[in-house]
């Protein structure tokens, strides 16, 4: 068992750290608290630099036009880049910021030309439409329908928790919409569609501001599909394959979320340790007080557990192994751990920790939202328990 990163992985991690220092740090005093204050040209400039540093298509297989470096490489980059608060704003269009949807890797060539390569090569973006007003963590309970009508499908329904199309000033090239094609088959009746955008059959019904404005989870909206006409050829795979695609996507996303939160919490821990060394109270540095030392120790244990869980799960995904349980464990543990680490960092900073300029509040709320987004903590525990019980049947 080798816990050391390969030379290539170490180089990727170092390059991501350099990206933070050379591209993001100069922007931090001007942008980073409110992502909507970032001008479009600045946003696209960072995206262009992101490409220059070699971070697009990291986990996309080489035969699909990517770098073929796997989920672990993607996690290493995410873990580093979130150490700049700027990236919490610029990751506003997180869907597709790094890689296209995995279902496109094995799509027909014409779909790759139209929907895969523009994401990899032309700095285009897409948004994913899964959740609905009545279906969040219960993703199999979606009610949006796609009815076959000759050479088209007609989609009707409302999708929730997607980035607004102008967030921040970026219009997605297309939407990935999960819809029911056969209501009688349950989750096996869900299919996935490529919906060109802007589209006369899709409108923004309502926009929301979350408790974490200024982060990539700060704004959201409802998309309404009303008699939206989608060519039948825009079906990804075959009818009924949507839920399989969804779970594959969510397992990968949950793992990367864990990496992002580990990096976020590591930044908070570093700030807390610096403050403990520099701040004196009653004639002693905080770092010499056992109460503070225990806070730092507990945070370090949280961080190490998160990081190891993320790396193992990413490795399993790259090996083609079933990582449902492990991805759920990452998604359950990492947000809770990040909140604990950030909360301790706030406490160590005292009054300075609650100032907006400290950015701890922004990161705490973002980590708190992550306990809900892409599967709640409770649903993740249900998934973990189900896999444990299933394994016991053959033990």
The label of the residue with tokens 């990413």 reads 314
Lowest-pLDDT range of 22-31, 134-143, 316-325: 22-31
Rounded to whole angstroms, the Cα distance separating 296 from 293 reads: 5
- C-alpha–C-alpha distance, residues 176 and 62, integer Å: 23
The model's confidence at residue 329, banded by pLDDT at 50, 70 and 90, is very high
User: Quick one: average pLDDT of 129-135?
Assistant: 95
pLDDT reported for residue 179: 98
With vertex at residue 228, the alpha carbon angle to CA 227 and CA 230, rounded to the nearest 5 degrees, is 135
CATH for 7-100?
1.10.540.10
User: CATH topology for 243-392?
Assistant: Butyryl-CoA Dehydrogenase, subunit A; domain 3 (1.20.140)
What tens digit of pLDDT does each residue of 187-242 get?
999 999 999 999 999 999 999 988 877 666 677 899 999 999 999 999 999 999 99
Mean pLDDT of 307-313: 98
Specify the higher pLDDT residue, 300 or 35.
300
Contact 313, 341 (CB under 8 A): no
H-helix or E-strand containing 155? strand 152-162
Helix (H, G, I), strand (E, B) or coil at 98: coil
How many angstroms from the chain centroid is the CA of residue 205? 24
The stretch 93-120 carries a mean pLDDT of: 84
Stated pTM of the model? 0.94
What are the sequence ranges of the domains in the chain? 7-100, 126-239, 243-392
Q: Which pLDDT belongs to residue 169?
A: 56
Q: Could you report the per-residue pLDDT of 144-200, keeping only the tens digit for each?
A: 999 999 999 999 999 999 888 876 556 889 999 999 999 999 999 999 999 999 999
The pLDDT of residue 180 is 98
Report phi then psi at 185, rounded to 5: -105, 5
CA distance 395 to 389: 10
The whole-number average pLDDT for the span 354-378 is 92
Report pLDDT for 166.
72
Determine the average pLDDT of the residues in 267-271: 97
Residue bearing tokens 């892409």: 374
Residue ranges of alpha helices (H) inside the chain are 7-19, 40-52, 70-81, 85-90, 109-111, 117-121, 242-278, 290-318, 324-349, 360-369, 377-392
Answer for the pair 334, 261: CB distance below 8 angstroms, yes or no.
yes
Which numeric CATH code is attached to 126-239?
2.40.110.10
Question: And the tokens for 276?
Answer: 């403990």
Q: Is 244 exposed, middle or buried (0-12, 13-18, 19+ CB in 10 A)?
A: middle
Is the confidence at residue 134, as pLDDT, over 50? yes
- Among 273, 258, 252, 257, smallest CA distance to 306 is for 258
């Amino acid at each position: 068992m080798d816990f050391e990163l390969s030379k290539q992985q170490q180089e990727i991690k170092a390059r991501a750290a350099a990206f933070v220092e050379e591209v993001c740090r100069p922007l931090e005093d001007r942008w980073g608290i409110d992502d909507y204050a970032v001008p479009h040209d600045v946003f696209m400039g960072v995206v262009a630099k992101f490409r220059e540093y070699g971070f697009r298509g990291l986990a996309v297989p080489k035969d699909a036009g990517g770098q073929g470096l796997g989920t672990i490489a993607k996690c290493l980059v995410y873990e580093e880049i979130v150490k700049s608060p700027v990236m919490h704003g610029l990751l506003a269009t997180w869907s597709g910021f790094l890689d296209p949807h995995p279902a496109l890797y094995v799509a027909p060539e014409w779909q790759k030309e139209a929907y895969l390569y523009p994401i990899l090569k032309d700095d285009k973006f897409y948004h994913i439409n899964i959740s609905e007003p009545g279906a969040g963590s219960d993703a199999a309970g979606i009610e949006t329908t796609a009815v076959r009508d000759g050479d088209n499908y007609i989609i009707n329904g409302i999708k929730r928790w997607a980035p607004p199309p102008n967030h921040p000033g970026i219009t997605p090239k297309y939407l990935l919409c999960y819809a029911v094609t056969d209501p009688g088959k349950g989750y096996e009746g869900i299919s996935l569609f490529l919906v060109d955008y802007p589209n006369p059959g899709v409108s923004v019904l309502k926009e929301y501001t979350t408790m974490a404005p200024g982060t990539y989870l700060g704004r959201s909206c409802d998309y309404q599909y009303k008699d939206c006409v989608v060519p039948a050829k825009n079906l990804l795979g075959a009818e009924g394959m949507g839920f399989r695609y969804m779970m594959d996507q969510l397992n990968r996303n949950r793992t990367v979320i864990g990496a992002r939160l580990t990096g976020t919490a590591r930044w908070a821990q570093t700030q807390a340790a610096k403050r403990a060394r520099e701040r004196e109270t009653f004639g002693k540095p905080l770092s010499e007080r056992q109460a503070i030392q225990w806070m730092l120790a507990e945070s370090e244990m949280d961080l190490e557990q998160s990081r190891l869980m993320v790396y193992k799960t990413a490795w399993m995904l790259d090996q083609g192994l079933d990582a449902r349980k492990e991805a759920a464990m990452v998604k359950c543990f990492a947000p809770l751990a990040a909140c604990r680490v950030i909360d301790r960092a706030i406490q160590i900073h005292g009054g300075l920790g609650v100032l907006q300029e400290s950015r701890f509040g922004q990161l705490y709320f973002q980590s708190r939202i992550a306990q809900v987004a892409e599967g709640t903590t409770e649903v993740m525990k249900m998934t973990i328990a189900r896999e444990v019980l299933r394994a016991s049947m053959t033990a």
